[in-house]
Amino acid sequence: MRRILTTRVLRLSAACAALALTLSASASTLIRAKLFVAPDGELKPDAIVLIDGDRIVSVSDAAAKANDTHEYSGAVLCPGLIEIASQAGAVDDLNDAANPIQVDADARDALNRRSAEYDGALRAGITTLVLTPSNENPIGGSTAIVCFTPQSLRPVIHGDTAPLKLSLSPEALRAVYEPSSRNGLIALLRRTLDAEKADPKPETSLGKLLGGKRVGIVAAPEAADVLTCADLAKSYGLRLAPWHSSDAEEVAELGAEFPGVIVGPFDFSTPARHARSAAAFAKNNSTVVIAGGLPFGATDRLRLGAAIAARSGLSPALARRAITSAPADLLGLNESHGRLAPGAMADLVVFSGDPLDLRSRVLAVYVGGQRVITDPSASSAPRLAQEDRK
Amino acid sequence: MPIPVGVAPNDASAFRAIALRRIHPAYSLFSLCSLAFATTALGQNRATVIKDVTILLPGEAPIEKGSVVFAGGKITGVGPKASGNFMSRDLKVGGKFITPGFVDCWGRNPSLVTADERADGAALDGIDLFNAAAMRALWSQGVVATYVPAPAIRGIGGVGAVLHLAPPQSGPLTAPKGKGDKGSSADDADPLLWVQESAAHFNAAALGDSSIRRLQTLQALRSALKEAREYGESFDDYEDELKEYTDKLAEKAKKAAAAEKGEAGKDGAKPDAAKPGDKPNAGGGSKAASKDNSKPAASGATSSTSSASKKKKKAKPTTPQPGDAEKKKDALKKPTEPTRDPRKETLLRVVNGELPLRAAASHPEDIEVLLDIANEYNLALILEGAHGAAVIADELKETNIPVVLDGTMPSLFFVDGPRRYVRADLSTRLSAADSPLYFGSGAGSADYAAAGSFALAASTALPTLEDAALLKKLTVDAAAWLGCEKKYGALSMGDRADFVVWTAPPFSPGAVVDRVFIDGQEVYRRDDAGADR
């Protein structure tokens, strides 16, 4: 009896194992193309990416095999693009006119999961967006990292490493009450940081900023604002990433003091001086991240910004990195997003050519290892909008 | 196809051969003098050679390891075997790729042109010759010639011009010799200006205009064209009336002469009165009469004919005589010339097909109305932007209406303006409708746009074109369409030495303009101090 039971258990276990193996094998996909964007931004041959489940298993392994193979001859595989400063689906919902200091505000609360703008972003190859409070609050609160699930394609909040948003911009100044001057704005920031320092609350967003666990994205439109950023970072031990383009050539040497610098958005009306900011910071060994400012401007403004930066002195490799692995690094997602590497999330885009060539089209988008969009040009109606109508 | 090897205008190899040969001392002296003369002559037109570069010619395969030779502002050799002579100077450039300069079919650089909102305005009047920074921004994008409109915020603007972006000259621009010139001679033609009057401009809508406002603007265009046509007709009527008037005057004079002759025959006087065929009012001064007939005076002026008849009248008794009423009835009244209106003059030229009408429009319905108006008035219409034309592309079929695209890209966000209507497949759909397509920096351009923006925007607007075809579209095709010099933009022998040195092929990622040459002069270098804003 015992033997029979043991045999049955063993058989059942074997069957389960076989089933598990089958399921696992069926979830694996091999994607082949001509070139792929490496983590350093260079275009490399042997674009063979093996996906298992929602993760990348191997890259450039010629011996890799899977049940399903997707072939894109002549195409370029690229990690899903990362938009670091977006207000998609939440325009006008990410600022507070009454209260300048919004330590507790969290952009995740403004996420509109039904907005068709996310579907549009996905079709442009953007698989990660950072919902970023506007520049109108000296402390605008936590940003929110938004990704997609392959099942519904609804945007979802990813993790809790999202940076805090600060602003030194004149947009944060008030007409009648504090802060009404740049001086007052910096004083208010210092006062808030001092108060937090005196009575630490490590679990709050400000506490995490002071503890070095979170990055602060600082809108710094003038060169003087970058100097202030450096000063604040030094005084309080903060990890700040200034967002600055206009006078970068004057303050570029400070760039290396920050975990990263954000430039952009750029388009065809961007003055040459602003467009050279990416190259200026890169020359000083800064990690340069390019912002697209979605949904404002062109849908493809993230790629456009990288293309313009590449024509203004930034190397093409660093320009590709500035919209993929560099923002992932700044957001603390360097293990999981923004790169085609084993262990990373299988969010990737297939372009018909170099992503920096604006003639290149998106041929397919993969989210969590599943192909969720093919040939977007075939349909102009956003998928979410269609679903919403049902 | 590579262009054959060229030589400098003054080939000095013969002089060199003479100088090296051992001959009689007298000949040596002659040879030395000749050599000195040749050196001086060659020095002035000394050839410059850029070697070992990849030459990208419009619509052709790249020429690897070729040379570009130029002298006296002209291309004297392009190709793998092109070389200079012993006097040539080798020029080392940072870039490795050479293309002809771009021709912008829709420049909208506000610093370069600021025209008032009026139909009789001209882009030419608004050109700021001293805005070197704006010129530099254009050169940094590889642009060497541009069409500049004289746009209004909305409605009818002025007349555009085509400029050759040679370094600014001091003094005012003068008109070029050729079609459309205003009587200037070749000597005072300015190298900056190629086509003085390219097209009248119409802007279908200003940003934020309501539907009603847009309709009003288009209706205003229709009315203005109608008025212009009536204005033209009024001058036609005036010409007819004037002819009739002069004919009647001549007839009357003839009758009077015949009557006087008969009376003189009776009286035995000499026949010295007006002869048949004489101009009217001959008695009042033939010179004045002739002037009066050849060019009708402006309103308010009176002819010498009438003054002569007045004099005659004064001599007669003032009391009414029998038959005066009949005479008054028979008295000729000179037609009055219609008042000249410069605004209508411009539009009259548009209605007469002498001047194209360039209409900037984005909304599909605006484009449809413009097509109707063009059809009604038989206009030479050019569409600028036409961002929403993808959905009505079929209506453009067989119209052969050229469309100048710009680099406006679609947006997710609902905003007013061109971006709201543009679709990624705009150029594909227009190509399918056989619309002639051109490219200009247009609505997306700015005062000091970033380097490379022009090439990037062009590749966005015409995404299906390969590099060689796109280069052709932006150089020779654009130049020919805009009426630049023949074959301009082809970088062939004898052409202006207008070319761009790139660090990489112009449409590849990261390509940067290293240097720009116009008429053989280096006008832009990437690393120059004092740079772009």
A285-302 per-position pLDDT tens digit: 999 999 999 999 899 999
For residue A374, pLDDT over 80 is answered with: yes
Three-state secondary structure along B376-443?
Answer: HHCCCEEEEECCCHHHHHHHHCCCCCCEEECCCCCCCCCCCCHHHHCCCCHHHHHHHCCCCEEECCHH
**pLDDT-wise least confident of A193-207, B88-102, B167-181, B366-380:** B167-181
For residues A81 and A328, give the distance between their C-alpha atoms in angstroms, rounded to a whole number.
Answer: 10
- Rounded CA separation B318/B335 (Å): 27
Instruction: Tell me the pLDDT tens digit for each residue of B131-174.
Output: 778 888 889 999 999 998 888 888 888 889 898 888 766 555 55
Residues of B in contact with A358 (CB under 8 A): 456, 459-460, 463
Whole-number pLDDT of residue B191? 60
Note the residue count of chain B.
Answer: 533
Closest residue of chain A to B459, computed from CA coordinates = A359
Whole-number Å distance between alpha carbons of A339 and A41: 9
| Residue type at position A200 | P
In chain A, which residues have their Cβ closer than 8 Å to the Cβ of B419? 297-298
Chain-chain contact of B460 with A117 (C-beta, under 8 angstroms)? no
Q: Which helix (H) or strand (E) holds B14?
A: helix B13-20
Q: What is the mean pLDDT of residues B336-365?
A: 92
**Cβ–Cβ contacts within 10 Å for residue B302, how many?**
11
Query: Are B468 and B474 contacting, i.e. CB atoms less than 8 angstroms apart?
Result: no
Three-class DSSP category at A238: coil
The full set of domains in chain B, from first to last, is 13-92 (2.30.40), 102-230+342-525 (3.20.20.140)
Beta-strand pair B102-104/A288-290: unpaired
- In 3D space, the residue among B76, B66, B71 whose CA is nearest the CA of residue B44 turns out to be B71
Residues B73-113 pLDDT 10s = 999 999 998 887 778 889 988 779 999 999 999 987 555 55
CATH number (2.30.40.10, 2.60.120.10, 3.30.160.60, 1.10.287.130) of A27-79+344-389 reads 2.30.40.10
Tell me whether strands B193-195 and B381-385 are parallel, antiparallel or unpaired: unpaired
pLDDT one-digit tens code per residue, A298-316: 999 999 999 999 999 999 9
Determine the Cα–Cα distance for residues B459 and B471; give it in Å rounded to an integer: 10
8 Å CB contact of B511 and A271: no
Q: Which helix (H) or strand (E) holds B231?
A: helix B211-267
- The amino acid present at A178, given as its one-letter code, is E
Per-residue model confidence (pLDDT) at position B63 = 94
Say if strands A362-367 and B74-79 run parallel, antiparallel, or are unpaired.
unpaired
What angle, rounded to 10 degrees, do the helices at B453-461 and B467-474 form?
110
Residue of A nearest to B464 (CA): A359
pLDDT at A177: 81
Say whether residue B441 is in contact with chain A using an 8 A CB cutoff. Answer: yes
Sign of dihedral through CA atoms B498, B502, B504, B507? negative
> What is the mean predicted confidence (pLDDT) over A210-214?
93
- pLDDT band for position B34 (50/70/90)? low
Whether A271 and chain B come into contact, CB under 8 Å, resolves to yes
The answer to whether the CB atoms of B532 and A319 lie below 8 A apart is no
Weakest-pLDDT range from A24-38, A240-254, B221-235, B449-463: A24-38
Q: How far apart are CA A30 and CA A70, in angstroms?
A: 6
Report d(CA A144, CA A161) in Å as an integer.
8
| Single-letter residue type at A384 | L
Band (B527; pLDDT cuts 50, 70, 90): confident
Mutate to test the interface with A, among B419, B453, B533 (most CBs of A within 10 A): B453
**Averaged over A335-352, what is the pLDDT?**
95
Contact B363, B422 (CB under 8 A): no
CB contact residues (below 8 A), chain B span 478-507, against chain A: 507
- pLDDT for residue B266: 59
Judged against a pLDDT cut of 70, whether residue B8 lies above it is answered with no
Per-residue pLDDT, B324: 57
Confidence of residue B260 (pLDDT cuts 50, 70, 90): confident
pLDDT tens per residue, range B283-313:
333 333 333 333 333 333 323 333 333 333 3
- Cβ-based neighbour number of residue A93 at 10 Å: 16
pLDDT at residue A152 in the model: 77
How many residues would you count in chain A? 390
Residue B108 near residue B443, CB atoms below 8 Å: yes
Interface mutation vs chain A, best among B413, B426, B439, B513, most A CBs within 10 Å: B413
Q: What is the pLDDT of residue B462?
A: 95
From the list A271, A314, A359, the residue facing B459 with the nearest CB is A359
CA–centroid distance for A264 within its chain: 14
Find, among A50, A56, A47, the residue nearest to A341 by Cα. Answer: A56
Phi-psi region of B130 (alpha: psi -120 to 50; beta: other; left: phi over 0): alpha
Instruction: Report CB contact under 8 Å: B449, A307.
Output: no
* pLDDT in the model for residue B402: 97
Residues 6+ apart with CB under 8 A from B317: none
CA A18 to chain centre: 38
CA A125, chain centre distance (Å) = 12
Q: How far is B431 from chain A (nearest CA, A)?
A: 16
Amino acid B169: pLDDT: 61
Contacts of B349 (CB under 8 A, 6+ apart): B200, B355
Amino acid B417: pLDDT: 75
Tell me whether A331 touches chain B (CB under 8 Å). no
User: From start to end of B7-140, where are the E strands?
Assistant: 48-55, 63-71, 74-79, 89-90, 97-100, 102-104
Contact B533 A300 (CB under 8 A): no
Look-up: residue for tokens 């609360």? A109
- Among B169-183, B406-420, B434-448, where is mean pLDDT lowest? B169-183
Residue B526, Cα to own-chain centre: how many angstroms? 30
Report, as an integer, the average pLDDT of A145-158: 88
Q: How far apart are CA A89 and CA A110, in angstroms?
A: 8
Residue B289 token pair: 């009469």
Helical H segments across chain A, by residue range:
2-26, 116-123, 182-198, 205-210, 223-236, 248-251, 272-275, 277-283, 301-310, 316-321, 325-330, 383-389
- pLDDT tens-digit readout, B442-479: 865 666 778 788 999 999 999 999 999 999 999 999 99
- Residue closest to B357 by CA, chosen among B201, B179, B481: B201
Is some CB atom of chain B closer than 8 A to the CB atom of A359?
yes
What type of residue is B447?
D
Yes or no: say if A44 and A36 are a contact pair by the CB < 8 Å rule: yes
**Percent share of chain B, pLDDT over 90:** 43
Contacts of A48 (CB under 8 A, 6+ apart): A30, A31, A32, A58, A59, A60, A61, A62, A64
The answer to whether A79 and A324 are in contact (CB under 8 A) is yes
Average the pLDDT over A243-252 and give the result. Answer: 93
**In this complex, do B446 and A354 lie within 8 Å of one another by their Cβ atoms?**
no
Q: What is the pLDDT of residue B528?
A: 53
Report the pLDDT averaged over residues B362-382: 95
pLDDT of B393 reads 95
Those residues with Cβ within 8 angstroms of residue B58's Cβ, 6 or more apart along the chain or in another chain: B100, B468, B471, B472, B475, B476, B477, B489, B490, B491
Q: How confident is the model at residue A388 (pLDDT cuts 50, 70, 90)?
A: very low
| The pLDDT value given to residue A335 | 84
Integer Cα distance of A79 and A38 in angstroms: 9
What is the three-class DSSP state of B504? coil
Mutate to test the interface with B, among A359, A379, A383 (most CBs of B within 10 A): A359
Q: Is A120 on the interface with B (CB under 8 A)?
A: yes
- Measured in angstroms, the CA of B344 and the nearest CA of chain A are apart by 35
User: Does the CB of B411 have a partner CB in chain A at under 8 Å?
Assistant: yes
| A263 interfacial to chain B (CB closer than 8 Å) | no
Query: Domain-by-domain residue ranges, chain A?
Result: 27-79+344-389
Give contacts of A356 with chain B, Cβ < 8 Å: 509-510
Closest to A291 (Cα-Cα) out of A253, A359, A243, A251: A243
CA-nearest of B67, B144, B162 to B101 is: B144
- Judged by CB atoms closer than 8 Å, whether chains meet at B448 and A271 is answered as yes
Two structure tokens written together for B247: 């004919």
CA distance B134 to chain A (A): 11
| Cross-chain Cβ contact A357/B507 below 8 Å | yes
Residue B458 in contact with partner chain A when CB distance is under 8 A: no
Neighbouring residues of A367: CB distance < 8 A, sequence distance ≥ 6: A80, A122, A127, A147, A148, A149, A150, A153, A347
Report for B15-29, B195-209, B461-475: range of highest mean pLDDT: B461-475
Q: DSSP string covering B56-83, please?
A: --TTS--EEEEEEEEETTEEEEEETT--
Comparing CB atoms, the residue among B409, B413, B464 nearest residue A304 is: B409
**8 Å CB contact of B449 and A271:** yes
- The residue of chain B nearest to residue A274, with distances taken between CA atoms, is B450
State residue B388's pLDDT score.
93
> Would you state the pLDDT for residue B328?
57
CA–CA distance, B304 with B192 (Å, rounded to integer) = 47
The answer to whether A43 and A251 have CB atoms below 8 angstroms apart is no
